[in-house]
A and B are shown apart, each in its own frame.
Chain A
Amino acid sequence: MNERAEAGRQAARVHGATGDWEIVIGIEVHAQVSSKAKLFSGASADFGGEPNDHVSLVDAAMPGMLPVINEYCVEQAVRTGLGLNAQINLHSVFDRKNYFYPDLPQGYQISQYQQPVVGEGAVELDMPDGSTVEIGIERLHLEQDAGKSLHDQHPTASFVDLNRSGVALMEIVSKPDMRSADEAKAYVSKLRAILRYLGTCDGNMEQGSMRADINVSVRHPGEPLGTRCEIKNVNSIRFMGQAIDYEAHRQVDLLEDGGQVVQETRLFDPRRGETRAMRTKEEAHDYRYFPDPDLLPLELDQAWVDQIAGSLPELPDSKKARFVEQYGLSAYDAGVLADDKAAADYFETVASGADPKIAANWVTGELYAALNKKGLEIEASPVAPEALRDLLGLMADQTISGRIAKDVFEIMLETGEAPLSIVEARGLKQVTDTGAIEQIVEEIIAANPDQVAEVKEKPKAIGWFVGQVMKASQGKANPQAVNDVLRNKLGLDQT
């Protein structure tokens, strides 16, 4: 932990009447494995579907049905574990977690309790202030998702749909290493980026293929951990910040009023921006975990694990380091680009034919702004990376100026036309012919004697002349040439 990170953490504390409170956050992420079929049955794992359509007799827990594990899901768990620099356990065990709930047809969830497939690992976060924070991973295990209950379809009944029942989840448990909502948000974003890079989870929080349960407690710095509350139902990274801030302040207020935090599960209500205790008060949880006797232990082969390790793609951290090294980007720009595989790929295509720093500025500046306005992901950008590369090429070889480039980019966004044809069709080529520029300059000097007198006193006022010349040339004059000619004609020093 560097000093800057420490300073950031101190700034994130809650200032209470009894002093500063440190927020302690641990996160359990449930990430749906991007498999075709479910973890223990051959039914489709696709989102949606008519009620109880993606359901096998195994998922509906019919008498005598037995689970058979999906090898792809095991492989993705191992791949993810490797991507989190984590210990892969060659021997792991599936346990039953027993409890009654209508969307849990077996009366137990098959999960991994004492011997998960993946052990300890770590994730590095790049904070906007340039600091780096390492968050420990406690474990990753495979488990089944539950079905879905709909409570608003009928006055006295809940409707149960088992389409999600048995879908493969990776539960990724962090250590309680985060100290602010920003770190929590950065952690989930980073985890999402890694999963998407690996292709093991699509990271779609709206459809619930990635969900975060957030454990929040507060304490005075240096004190032992306080009692935590678990916040469920946080289905966007933006809500996470709200939920944590609300919950931390609630706990501080409670404690400072002489109260106590009760360990409980709370739901985040995005409309009110509040958390509230769940009304279903489960009596003291006693899940009676024991090894699932329908399944044998999961034994993996080290050579197979090594083979997966050898096939991992370049992950955000190494990509970021490479972007700094290879392209000379700032750590922050490199991090922003590397955290989104599509953006990183887009950038690299642009940078293959343009100055990398200018390419990075255009991607994170103009392009992001335009996509944001249109509500598009970078994969759906109307301007292909090759087209942007060509546009920057036209700027580099002085065919167009930077100002014209922005206009051309706007046209590209709307029409999808190639930059060169836009420039040619609309006569936007930059004028570098000194004769033509001299003529304009002379006309402007002749028409503005007062300004000529002024610029001799204050050479900085040359900017006004540049503006006039550019205007007269409809932006096509090469700014450097304009500058040179003006200085010459006005008798100023060349810069």
Chain B
Amino acid sequence: MSIDQATVRHIARLARIRVSDEEARQFEGELSSILTWVEQLEAVDTNDVEPMTSVIEVDMKQRRDEVTDGGMPDKVVANAPERENHFFLVPKVVE
């Protein structure tokens, strides 16, 4: 399946990656050829096949309801590009 530049721009927007015109052109070709290549899967008969949900057969272990973590706001914000009083700062969001 080949995709056009508008589709590239749409998915780039969903993925929050700005693409230049040149990148959009390049991705159009590359993504189209990858998608065309993966479409060989259509040849596989998957009727009555369950999609895989976990590659190993084990039960999911669960935690007890205990507070064992947190209480380290310094560490939480230590790497933040912008922070103030233990808050993360981002460009103002208008709701």
Contact = CB atoms under 8 A, between A and B. Distances in A.
Interface in B77-95: 77, 82, 84-95
B86 A157 contact: no
A150 interface: yes
A150 B63 contact: no
Nearest to B89: A157
Contacts of A42: 63, 66-70
Contacts of B60: 69, 295-299
A44 B67 contact: yes
Interface string A99-139: 01010000000000000000000000000000000000000
B87 A278 contact: no
A383 B56 CA distance: 60
Given A267-B95, A279-B94, 4 more contacts: A37-B69, A41-B70, A50-B86, A52-B88
10 contacts: A35-B65, A44-B67, A51-B85, A52-B87, A70-B65, A93-B53, A158-B89, A278-B95, A297-B60, A298-B60
A53 interface: yes
Contacts of A160: 87-90
Contact of B73 (A52, A93, A102, A158): A52
A189 to B, nearest CB: 28
Interface of A: 35-37, 41-44, 50-60, 68-74, 93, 100, 102, 149-151, 153-162, 267, 278-280, 283, 286, 288, 291, 295-299
B61 interface: yes
B58 interface: yes
Given A52-B77, A297-B53, A158 B61 contact: no
A293 to B, nearest CB: 8
B25 interface: no
Nearest to A34: B65
Most buried by A among B66, B67, B82, B90: B67
B64 A158 contact: no
Interface residues of B, number: 37
B39 to A, nearest CB: 19
Contacts of B82: 157
Given A69-B60, A70-B63, A161-B87, A60 B14 contact: no
A36 B66 contact: yes
A358 to B, nearest CB: 44
B62 A53 contact: no
Contact of A280 (B62, B69, B94): B94
A55 B76 contact: yes
Contacts of A57: 69, 75-76
B65 A53 contact: no
A299 B87 CA distance: 38
A102 B90 contact: yes
A58 B14 CA distance: 24
B95 A157 contact: no
A100 B15 CA distance: 8
Contacts of B68: 37, 42
Contact of B64 (A58, A71, A159, A296): A71
A159 B87 contact: yes
Contacts of B90: 102, 149, 157-158, 160
Interface string B16-27: 100000000000
Contacts of B85: 51
Given A44-B70, A150-B87, A158 B65 contact: no
B88 to A, nearest CB: 4
B19 to A, nearest CB: 16
Contacts of A153: 87
A100 B16 contact: yes
A185 B13 CA distance: 40
B54 interface: yes
Nearest to A94: B60
B45 interface: no
Contact of A56 (B62, B70, B77, B91): B70
Contact of B76 (A71, A162, A278, A291): A162
A296 B54 contact: yes
**8 closest residue pairs by CB, A with B:** A72-B65, A42-B68, A43-B70, A42-B69, A71-B62, A56-B69, A296-B60, A159-B87
B92 A297 contact: no
Task: Name the residue among B63, B72, B94 with the largest chain A CB count within 10 angstroms.
Answer: B63
B42 interface: no
Contacts of B89: 154, 157-160
B76 A60 contact: yes
A297 B57 CA distance: 10
A279 B95 CA distance: 5
A279 B58 CA distance: 46
